[in-house]
Amino acid sequence: MTRLVLPLPPNRANARWHWRTEKKLRENYYLICTVLHPRPLKTVLTRCSIACDLYLWGQMDVDNAYGRLKWALDWMQGRYILDDSPDVIETLTLKQHIDRKNQRLEIEVEEA
């Protein structure tokens, strides 16, 4: 099992960013994640289960909370998981917690 603690991705649910602005934000997020976790797995997982814990300022709608995982799952492709398709990720669970002082995303990846 691999455990990752990442910064909380921006809330993209109702965002209307210019494509250049979003690209820059996404690249910066990927860079921060790579600095925090520079060594990926030696072999990427082809079947896995992922459990995510979002530590937020306040509770989000479930669909917006799952949407907030997109950049983190995209960053994990090729480093930890083969891709983010249903063929690779058997289960994806999400829990929300309130932590106003230390907002973050904790991910546990387990081979299935």
Q: How do the pLDDT tens digits run along the chain, 112 residues long?
A: 899 999 999 888 777 889 999 999 999 999 999 999 998 878 899 999 999 999 999 999 999 999 999 999 999 999 999 999 999 999 999 999 999 999 999 999 999 9
Predicted local confidence at residue 53, as pLDDT: 98
Could you name the CATH architecture of 2-111?
2-Layer Sandwich (3.30)
Listed residue (108, 68, 76) closest to 92, CA to CA: 108
Predicted local confidence at residue 13, as pLDDT: 76
Predicted local confidence at residue 29, as pLDDT: 97
Residue type, position 26, single letter: R
Which residues, in sequence order, are CB contacts of 84 under 8 Å at separation 6+? 73, 74, 76, 77
